[in-house]
A and B are shown apart, each in its own frame.
Chain A
Amino acid sequence: MPDWKRYVREHLPHLAIKPEREMEIVDELAEHLEATYRDALANGASEQEAYKLAAALFADWRLMECELSLAEQPVNGAPLRQLDTAIEQAKSEKSRRRLVSMESLFQDLRFGLRALLKTPGFTLIAVITLSLGIGVNTAIFSSIDALLLRPLDFPGLDRLVALSETPDEGFGLGNVASADFLDWKSQSAVFDSLTVYQWWESDLTGVGEPERLRGGRVSPDFFHTFGVKAALGRTFMPDEEQPGRDQVALISHGLWQRRFAADPHIVGKTIGLNGASFTVVGVMPPEFDFPKATAVWAPLPITGEFTSERKSKYLTVIARLKPAITTAQAQTEMDGIAYRLEQLHPETNTGRTVVVTSLRDRVVGGFTPMYMWFSMGAVLFVLLIACVNIAGMQLARDAGRASEMAIRAAMGATRWRIIRQLLTENALLALLGGALGILMALWMLTLIKTSIPPEITRFMPGYGRLAINTRALSFTFVIALIAGIVSGLAPAFRASKPDLNEALKEGKRSSGACVNHSRLRGLLVISEVALALTLLVGAGLMVKGFTRLAENMKRGLSPENVLTMGVSLSRTRYPEAHQVRAFYQQSLERIEKLPEVVSAGAVTFLPASGGWRTVDLFIAGRPDPGPGQSQSANLLAVTPHYFQTLRIPIIEGRDFADQYQADSPRVAIISAELQRRYFPDEKALGKRIRVGSPTSDWATIVGVVGDVMRFHFDKRWQPMVYLPHSQSSARTMYLVARASDNPLGLAAAVRAQALSVDKEQPVFDITTVEKVMTDQVSGARIGAMLMALFGLIALLLSAVGVYGVIAYSAEQRTHEIGVRMALGAQPRDVLKLVVGQGLALALIGVGIGLIAAFGLTRLMASVLFGVSATDMLTFALVSLLLMAIALMACYIPARRATKVDPLTALRHE
């Protein structure tokens, strides 16, 4: 006799009434079912038929709950009529249906929650698994949202465009000649406003310690174009671009707070910039940070010779489109203007075109988008693996619930109803996972933020908004729901089609764990291994590439223990070349006298810093290269002891001597690559070269030094020419000082020596050479680090997943294994059977994963350095690693299976 009371209790949702009364109702309904069941049996029905008959009486539990709740409400007089009306309404078909469907949703949720609480171990592991998958997705989505989708925060950002001229000879924004800009401004009709800016390094003086500031010279309508106003004071007036009226400046909120103690009366005060005085007219609001990291803005006069300058391209042009004008329309108009300018000024503008791009796309640039989208791809893989894991876990758990499903089906629950119930459970799981995932995402964002040095982040548009916002939360919600449904679909369909006869048997577990079921499990193992392999290969390549990159940068020199700082001497303070030479000479002499300093020197661009200057090269005794046969080298000015300080080996000849003067015979040192490239069969030492122009002085090669990197992305060495600083008088130099140890400990002393020569001269970028180099590759480092993290999570999840599925499947086969052992199979055979089957699946997974990885990693080629996208070693190692993990995951359950006592196993049925 079925326990009808329990049956009612399980089906009737809790009523909002007194528990004693509820118990009475349960008793009464149970009694009714029992009587029906008994009568049916008495009339000759089988137990199963009687059960069905009784169960069919109460098919609609929700209607029951609804009516009981209404019936149990207190009544008297008027409320009675209200109650009747309420009942009438509840019964009217439409509202009834709505009520029922709402009710059934709540019932699903309630029931789902109860089911999850019943298996806390499963729930915990599932929630953690999902939180890993969802968390990394939320973190990467937030990063993409801040850095790629909304890097800037200006009103009407979509209408802001950047205009540049091609061919582009520089990097990033810029490159428009001033006369071209003036023509664009007067001839175009698609823009509300058209504005320019130019980078402007300026030394702030007159307020305590001198400081080098990043600044921008901008046309007066610059701020109007962006739609921003000053937080204090005003922005520039149109007439302030006239020479003589342009000695005004706007300062950033940060500078105002840092250097002027947020002085509310700053407007009208005078500050020194590059030796000239400027009147502060306003302070910009804190959120205005364009161009990125700008501390001071001053007007940019385009007058005099600049109105006809078409050769030198030094301006960056930003424009605001008129409403309803598209970028394409603007492009069409600009094409026409460029064509006209080409006809009018063929000597400068031939082949010159204009490119209109959205400002957002222009500021993002570089490798960031690539890294971000790869990371997004990787985290989707992680999420998929998490989903497969959940599906596997659920298959195992749902097998234990087969009889529950069978009873539901027997009672008339439709297949869809059962699927919905199971999917609701999954959605609940995923939402819990999502909530935990947000914590995980917060942690990951902190990790991302702290691993990018501030020297880089201050130039990263959108970095300040890197956080979990409402968009990220909505994304998490959606992705959690999708994850819940995806991971639940297969098991739900499986479970919704129970074999009633089998499932309702007392034993519950059938030996032959149906074929479909085991096929599904096999599929899970295969996809898990394949997904993990693809991701791990990608991660492996990224990590390997980054390691190569980091090693490559340091080739040819020894950057450890070397302190560096930049100095830039302005023309106002140091008008004459001999003054410049004297400054550097005196500073370096004083620095070298410091006891902790081993040696010191200076250079125009540090190795692998990404800064260089390429010049034409002429060799004495050879014809000048014809057109198209460029013969060039990278030009650097260095002081004596520079090579020694960075330990760049002098292969032949010697270093520049201390006593060289501006008027002594010209000399040069070349790099080994220059020797190889331009003097392949002869000694370069003693040869004479000219750099820059065919009319410059001949310089004799006095030494050959080892190669160093120019830019970390260079795939091969670049030829370099070093000239003595005493003969080139570069104004901006990077000092380098080798310390016996702890270079940063020297910073204050070295800086003091430089200031002792000129206390008004700021030094900047004080750091170590090693850090300059690693900062260069921080993007690649964080890309590799994230990929490694995702790979690790994928490995962990798939190991757990494969283990779970194999363990469950071995357990399902306990009976079979028992029979085999009873018939004489040895533990070794059982081990082989279980491990063999698992490994076969893993091998198929590895095969599929290799094919997928082979296809997908090709997309990564552009962000891999020094490693091929099809690097055999990585592919092989990752495959072996996964097979080893799969072996472990299979071995443990297999070991357990060999411990099966045949007798117990046979009784298992």
Chain B
Amino acid sequence: MLEKEVKRGSTEMLILALIEERARHGYEIAKLIETRSEGVLQFHVASLYPLLYRMEKRGLIQGRWVEKAGERRRRFYKLTPEGKKVLAEQRQTWADFFAALERVAKIKSA
């Protein structure tokens, strides 16, 4: 149960963090989460896009269609100022959370 909650809460932050570096499209986001977490974090596409759309609706990210010659057009997502704020807040929350875990359960945060 906790695992599920943690995963859900963290996904939003992961997405925000990934597009903080540069704008990315959905497929890239999914791939990056999978490869960078070495397969530990993996989630279904059926949840990724709805989550992206929700975040866009809430003004955390902004999508834009980009067309390149010879390729299918893709939608790239970039961070909005509001998103930046939320990302910072969430990072702080998670940092506090890990610090607490470390203090109590002697778990080293990454």
Q: Which residues of A contact B (CB under 8 A)?
A: 24-25, 27-32, 34-36, 57-58, 60, 63-64, 67-68, 70-72, 74-75, 80, 83
Contact = CB atoms under 8 A, between A and B. Distances in A.
B30 interface: yes
A328 B69 CA distance: 92
B27 A70 contact: no
Contact of B45 (A25, A58, A72, A83): A58
Given A64-B46, A67-B46, A80-B58, A31 B72 contact: yes
A35 B50 CA distance: 19
A27 B50 contact: no
B103 interface: no
Interface in B6-40: 25-27, 30
B85 interface: no
B45 A67 contact: no
Given A67-B50, A68-B50, A80-B58, 15 more contacts: A25-B49, A28-B75, A30-B72, A31-B25, A31-B75, A32-B30, A32-B49, A57-B44, A57-B45, A68-B49, A71-B49, A71-B51, A71-B54, A74-B57, A75-B58
Contacts of A72: 53, 57
Interface of B: 25-27, 30, 44-47, 49-51, 53-54, 57-58, 65, 72-75
Given A27-B73, A70-B50, A71-B50, A32 B45 contact: yes
B49 A29 contact: yes
A24 B46 contact: no
A116 B45 CA distance: 32
Contacts of B27: 31-32, 35-36
Contact of A28 (B26, B44, B57): B26
A83 B65 CA distance: 27
Which of B25, B51, B57 is the most central at the interface, judged by chain A CB atoms within 10 Å of its CB?
B57
A71 B46 contact: no
B11 to A, nearest CB: 13
A60 B44 CA distance: 10
10 contacts: A28-B74, A32-B26, A32-B30, A34-B72, A58-B45, A60-B44, A64-B49, A67-B50, A72-B53, A75-B54
A83 B74 CA distance: 28
Nearest to B55: A71
B58 A28 contact: no
Contacts of A75: 54, 57-58
Contacts of A80: 58
Nearest to A33: B45
Given A71-B51, A72-B53, A74-B57, A58 B46 contact: yes
Which of B27, B44, B47 is the most central at the interface, judged by chain A CB atoms within 10 Å of its CB?
B27
> Lowest 9 CB-CB distances: which A-B pairs, in order?
A67-B50, A71-B50, A71-B53, A35-B27, A64-B46, A71-B54, A57-B45, A32-B27, A75-B57
Contacts of B51: 71
Contacts of B54: 71, 75, 83
A651 B86 CA distance: 120
Contacts of A67: 46-47, 50
A395 B104 CA distance: 68
A30 B53 CA distance: 16
Nearest to A21: B53
Which of B46, B49, B57 is the most central at the interface, judged by chain A CB atoms within 10 Å of its CB?
B46
A455 to B, nearest CB: 73
A2 to B, nearest CB: 13
B14 to A, nearest CB: 17
Contacts of B75: 24, 27-28, 31
Contacts of A29: 45, 49
A24 B45 CA distance: 16
Contacts of A31: 25-27, 72-75
Given A68-B53, A71-B51, A63 B73 contact: no
A64 B51 CA distance: 11
Contacts of B57: 71-72, 74-75
Contacts of A27: 72-73, 75
A72 B72 CA distance: 24
A72 B46 CA distance: 14
A28 B49 contact: yes
B28 to A, nearest CB: 9
A722 to B, nearest CB: 95
Contacts of B46: 58, 60, 63-64, 67
Contacts of A24: 65, 75
Contacts of A57: 44-45
A767 to B, nearest CB: 79
Nearest to A72: B53
Contacts of A60: 44, 46
Nearest to B51: A71
A160 to B, nearest CB: 65
Contacts of A74: 57
A28 B75 CA distance: 7
Contacts of A58: 45-46
A32 B73 CA distance: 11
Contacts of A36: 27
Contacts of A63: 46
Contacts of A28: 26, 49, 74-75
A413 to B, nearest CB: 16
Nearest to B73: A27
A80 B50 CA distance: 15
A83 B51 CA distance: 12
Contacts of A83: 54
A72 B57 CA distance: 8
Contacts of B44: 57, 60
A784 B51 CA distance: 70
Nearest to B74: A31
A67 B49 CA distance: 9
Nearest to A35: B27
B93 to A, nearest CB: 17
Contacts of A32: 26-27, 30, 45, 49
B60 to A, nearest CB: 11
A24 B75 CA distance: 9
Which of B26, B30, B54, B72 is the most central at the interface, judged by chain A CB atoms within 10 Å of its CB?
B54
Contacts of B58: 75, 80
Nearest to A75: B57
B49 to A, nearest CB: 7
B50 A64 contact: yes
A877 B47 CA distance: 69
A70 B46 CA distance: 13
A31 B74 CA distance: 7
A70 B53 CA distance: 10
A715 to B, nearest CB: 78
Contacts of B25: 31
Nearest to B57: A75
A410 B44 CA distance: 19
A206 B60 CA distance: 99
Which of A30, A60, A67 is the most central at the interface, judged by chain B CB atoms within 10 Å of its CB?
A67
B59 to A, nearest CB: 9
A128 B30 CA distance: 52
A60 B43 CA distance: 13
Nearest to A34: B72
Nearest to B4: A91
A551 B24 CA distance: 93
A416 B25 CA distance: 37
A229 to B, nearest CB: 68
Contacts of B30: 32
A57 B45 CA distance: 6
Nearest to B45: A57
Nearest to A27: B73
A83 B58 CA distance: 11
A80 B82 CA distance: 16
Nearest to A67: B50
A68 B27 CA distance: 17
Contacts of A64: 46, 49-50
A129 to B, nearest CB: 41
Nearest to B71: A31
